[in-house]
Amino acid sequence: MPKLFLNPIGIIRTPHKEPKGTPIQPPAAKGAKGTIEVFEEFVDGLKDLDGFSHITLLFHFHLSPGPLLQVAPFMDTAVHGVFATRAPRRPNPIGLSTVRLAGIDRNILHIEEVDIVDGSPLLDIKPYVPRFDLRDNVRTGWLAARVERLDTTRDDGRFAQ
């Protein structure tokens, strides 16, 4: 099965200058504003994106030192399979965050509720559409008993080296 080669389409600028201290999901990142510089060659792809209040970003976890198949994630002390977590040390180090889109100035996107480390290479932008993305009757496994820790937990740097 062939490898897939990806080229970043932009760069994400945020107040989070290193993994340590970064909010671990967008709902824990109230007040954290950033910008995305979309590279010139991709600007035509932004047409009509300004009608959407939220966008899902796919980005490169560029500071991940490599994959681990089992990890103790930020909100737990137990070890889980990396695919049962959102930890960055994934076999394919792609991050997924849905952020608020506050406005667009040509190739600059103004975003809010940002949990992404400054300088992360952007791979894709998708419009967030509840009719596509929302699910009911959800079970969340080990996270169900831990998710209350979201607002008080920050990245402690454990996956950056």
Residues within the interface to its own copies (CB under 8 A): 1-9, 11, 25-27, 42, 44-56, 58, 60, 69-70, 79-86, 90-94, 96, 98, 121, 123-135, 137-144, 147, 150
Q: How far apart are CA 10 and CA 59, in angstroms?
A: 9
- CB count within 10 Å of CB 154 equals 16
Identify any residues that bridge with 124 across adjacent strands, giving them in sequence order.
58
Minimal distance, residue 78 CB to its own copies, in Å:
8
Instruction: State the minimum distance, in angstroms, from the CB of residue 120 to its own copies.
Output: 11
For its own copies, the closer of residues 132 and 161 by Cβ is 132
If you compute the radius of gyration of the chain from its CA atoms, what whole number of angstroms results? 16
Question: Of 94 and 160, which CB lies nearer to its own copies in the complex structure?
Answer: 94
Report the residue number, 76 or 158, with the smaller CB distance to its own copies: 76
Shortest distance, CB of residue 45 to its own copies, whole angstroms? 4
Nearer CB in complex with its own copies: 84/160 = 84
Minimum distance from residue 118 beta carbon to its own copies (Å):
14
CB 104 within 8 A of CB 55: no
Residue 70 has phi, psi (to 5 degrees) of -135, 140
How far is 97 from 118, CA to CA, in rounded Å? 14
Residue closer to its own copies (CB basis): 7 or 161: 7
Distance CA 81, CA 153 (A): 20
Report the alpha-carbon distance of residue 93 to residue 161 in Å, rounded. Answer: 14
Report, in Å, the least distance between residue 79 CB and its own copies.
8
